[in-house]
Chain A
Amino acid sequence: MRFLIDNQPLTNNIMELIKLFKGGAWSEEINVKDFVSNNITPYDGDASFLQGPTERTMEVWNICLNAIEEERANNGLRSLDNKTISTITSHKAGYINKESELIVGLQTDELLKRAIKPFGGINVVARACHENGIEVDENVKDIFTHYRKTHNDGVFDVYTDEIRSFRSLGFLTGLPDNYARGRVIGDYRRLALYGINRLIQAKQEDLHNLTGPMTEQRIRLREEVAEQIKALKDMKVMGEYYGLDLSRPAHSAQEAVQWVYMAYLAAVKEQDGAAMSLGNVSSFLDIYLEYELSKGIIDESFAQELIDQFVIKLRMVRHLRMQSYNDIFAGDPTWVTEAIGGQFNDGRHKVTKTSFRFLQTLYNLGASPEPNMTVLWSPALPEGFKTFCAKVSIDTSSIQYENDDLMRSVRHSDDYGIACCVSFQDIGRQIQFFGARANLAKALLLAINGGRCENTGTQMVKGIPVLTGDTLDYHEVMANYKVVLREIARVYNDAMNIIHYMHDKYYYEKAQMALIDTNPRINLAYGAAGLSIAADSLSAIKFAKVTAHRNDIGLTTSFDIDGEFPCYGNDDDRVDELAVGLTHLFSEELSKLPIYKNARPTLSILTITSNVMYGSKTGATPDGRLKGVPFAPGANPMHGRDSKGAIASLTSVAKISYEDAQDGVSNTFSIVPKSLGVTEEDRVDNLVGMMDGYFSKGAHHLNVNVLNREMLEDAMEHPENYPQLTIRVSGYAVHFVSLSREHQLEVISRSFHNKM
């Protein structure tokens, strides 16, 4: 047994840390990036050094597994605190098994007990409680109904009729107006490197320097920084509940892990954003682990144990959700996204032994969707690491990959994390306003129906000429489509500005923002769904003869297609260029509009699991898709239309320009093991080669599932046998058994690349 007290403390204060670690700008200012760059030990070897889980780890994990089973058996909710308004300090210490926990801290006082966070919306919380058979405490309801306004109330006070209509009819969907926006990543490393006192000092200096003239903008920023300082003080109190002195920097590897987790815990106690990403902590923590390993203070087994126990905690993060939320983000995701690997701009890589240790948790604790492990891939990464990633993907389907070379060259920072599923975020210097997505396929139907909703006939966009000919003319449709996209962009932008104004006002992320530079750069992350449907529809109109069938009020109900047309996903430029052009067009329209807080617009081609819901709201489309049929997820080609196999499909997706969609271009790839190659070695080699190829073609993101269709079908029938079966769905991973039946069927129907 080695506990902290047996170890030599690394140091007592920052001044001494400077002696131990290589100094630099980080010793003078808050700058973790500089610390990592100066002190990292890149690792070029293979996975042979890794260790299995300790008994102590398994003791803790087995308790968690039982709790997860209870949660599943109880419709996804183990217990709920319906009275305590969750804040950084709301709940006293909670443990899983105190004696065996190396890393401590729970969101509430009990494992998998969910908390209420009514600042986002009291009605949302009340409904979520009610749906779980418990009523929210009357007192809480009273406070948030009569005395304290919420984000959700603020947004709906201000929404225009137009926004409401675009929202309710399914043109703009999943907007973070009735759930917290998330996506802000605190630089959780700061707490370990600097301690609370130093961080408060820096924020106080910032506040001091934020002088007049007192414009609305300046007043708001001063208030925000003041809130951040309060959050930092609260974190110190939260640490005290667990007997931790967070006022100072971490003094050991164990403390470094613990401090980082405490900073993250403060965030998930205060906020229930859709995605609460972790950032890029693994290679930072490696510096502490490497130091203690090199001094013989700890051994590899203990190093792994710290990471295993940290990851257990991350797997136990929960938020209270209502059913309508699960419809868009199925499987109870939390998006504790951790970015692993990548390179520095100076050419060194950032793969450390702790990059391996994070992936190793998928063996030590079994496959899991959380934390959402995201490997920042480059063909230049060391072979030993690439091979290990491919092996872990084949064995667990729990990793996603993003193009490090591409993101560094377009976005410039080499110290970034992934917000939510796929989105670049310069850690500690930048944040993101989440924007859900617009439905491009349904928008196309507006262009064909004179600006009217194809389901209700509601006039959404004015000034669209009514098409009179039976056969759709590509140029006519395209001219209308451009007008529609401009109008949708305008309404979308209005909605976003309102949402983020209100979120700042009523549900400001003070804990996370306390760990980010004052006045960071902001991206507004717009999104688009239905890209492949829209592209294939345009292709059908352009290359085949498409005849619209209309009902008695002139709305399209179905389409006849006469002749062949190329489908997106076959490396055929004729249609792939339509998808590329459409992404560019929509991105351009969005970038013309003014944004709250001068945020910079970005766009994602990402659906998460909402492709099912989007499909259900969209009538028949000119590509031959019937009314209500799910879209393909993200930027994926439509199921079954990519007839030339996986590489042609990947090649098509790789053509979508990241410049046009800097919030991410998501692609989900599923393959049966045998199709990857004959021997295990072939499979690993081929998967590595596939990713090298995909990313060297400028593609952005790839989910990799290596699964058998039969296994998924069996898991639908016997969920109890597959508690940990994990699959990757458009930017994140989920436990397959926690998906609804509809989502399960949709996953199975997707292109499994298994042609013989």
Chain B
Amino acid sequence: MIRVHSYESMGTFDGPGLRLVVFLQGCNFRCLYCANPDTIAVGEGIATEPEEIVRMALSQKAFFGKKGGITFSGGEPTLQAKMLIPIFRKLKEEGIHTCLDSNGSLWNEDVEELFGLTDLVLLDVKQFNAVRHRALTGHSNEQTLRTASWLENQGKPFWLRYVLVTGYSDFEEDIISLGETLGSYRMIQRVEILPYHTLGVHKYEAMKQKYLLQEVKENTPEQIEHAADLFKRYFPTVYVN
């Protein structure tokens, strides 16, 4: 059984075209800005038969067109890599394009196989600076960067997603370092800057948890533009999502 948090059948923000986005339950990161804190706890969510997810994808296949497909997001979907492998195989058989939206921090045989089966990886790099990454997520970014390198070496196309949080991930020197290291990767088809938003704050209230970034404001258009310009120095295709 797969632990599913929820679905967005008209996903237009998580991969190319129209996509069925399956938000999986459970995450190993504790990002301060997390907009979906209700997806973090492992073992919660709705236990779902793998066949049900495949059925939904097939049912909605007509909407996917040439570009769209299915995206597994979360939570951190690779936490359930073993269960996802047969689903990805089936989806591949059915000609459905797959995306995996992952923080890239987990690595084992199953995860490796899952990445191998994925058509397009959406790799969330939260911060390039190791210290600030840990401050932001509670975890190291070493494996994430190794995963990026693995994808590059395997010739697996991926998008780099970067959440821009004022005072946490908008340091010029960090973005420059990231660009200098990853800018040469030919498999990065697109960089997506995801401006920080507070749309998930009400969930913390509902869950009776404290939201730690109360004082952080949403990015100004100038800040977003500045970050985009920095990325554009190193990457040919940069979108603000």
Contact = CB atoms under 8 A, between A and B. Distances in A.
The answer to whether A binds B is yes
Q: Which of A643, A644, A692 has the most CB of B within 10 A?
A: A644
A690 B241 contact: no
B88 interface: no
Nearest to B199: A756
A647 B199 contact: no
Contacts of A690: 10, 18, 63
B17 interface: yes
A648 B60 contact: yes
B62 A648 contact: no
Contact of B63 (A647, A675, A682, A753): A647
Contacts of A648: 7, 9, 56, 60
Interface string A37-55: 0000000000000000000
A645 B18 contact: no
Given A571-B59, A678-B239, A693-B60, A645 B68 contact: no
A750 interface: no
Interface string B1-44: 00000111111110001101000000000000001000000000
A646 B7 CA distance: 10
Contacts, number: 79
A747 interface: no
B64 interface: yes
A169 B64 CA distance: 46
B62 A692 contact: yes
A689 interface: yes
Contact of A753 (B6, B7, B10): B10
Contact of A693 (B12, B56, B64): B64
Interface residues of B, number: 26
A647 B9 contact: yes
B63 A571 contact: no
Give the interface centre of A651, A676, A696 by most chain B CB atoms within 10 Å. Answer: A651
Nearest to A642: B9
A413 interface: no
Interface string A672-716: 000111110010011001101110110000000000000000000
A755 B200 CA distance: 11
A689 B11 contact: no
Interface string B182-217: 000000000000000101000000000000000000
A645 B12 contact: no
Contacts of A697: 62
Contacts of B68: 689
A647 B18 contact: yes
A692 B66 CA distance: 11
Given A651-B59, A697-B62, A755 B8 contact: yes
Nearest to B21: A645
Given A647-B9, A647-B10, A755-B8, A678 B62 contact: no
Nearest to A692: B65
B229 to A, nearest CB: 18
Contacts of B18: 647, 686, 689-690, 693
A697 B64 CA distance: 12
Given A682-B12, A753-B10, A756-B35, A689 B65 contact: yes
B62 A686 contact: no
Contacts of A692: 62-63, 65
B168 to A, nearest CB: 20
A376 B3 CA distance: 42
B12 A678 contact: yes
Contacts of B6: 643-644
Interface string A627-647: 000000000000000011111
A383 to B, nearest CB: 12
A645 B11 contact: yes
B63 A645 contact: no
Most buried by A among B11, B20, B62: B62
Contacts of B10: 645-647, 671, 675, 690, 753
Contacts of A671: 10
A650 B59 CA distance: 11
Q: Taking each of B6, B8, B56, which has the highest tally of chain A beta carbons within 10 Å of its own beta carbon? A: B8
A696 B56 CA distance: 16
B60 A647 contact: yes
A194 B87 CA distance: 63
Given A678-B241, A682-B12, A645 B62 contact: no
B17 A651 contact: no
A671 B12 CA distance: 12
A685 B20 CA distance: 16
Nearest to B36: A756
Nearest to B35: A756
B12 A675 contact: yes
A689 B67 CA distance: 9
Contacts of B239: 678-679
Q: Which 9 A-B pairs have the closest CB atoms?
A: A693-B63, A647-B9, A646-B10, A648-B9, A689-B65, A645-B9, A693-B62, A644-B7, A645-B8
Interface of B: 6-13, 17-18, 20, 35, 56, 59-60, 62-65, 67-68, 197, 199, 239-241
7 contacts: A571-B9, A643-B7, A651-B59, A675-B10, A676-B12, A689-B63, A756-B197
Given A645-B7, A686-B18, A697-B62, 10 more contacts: A571-B59, A571-B60, A644-B8, A647-B60, A651-B63, A685-B67, A689-B17, A689-B18, A693-B18, A756-B197
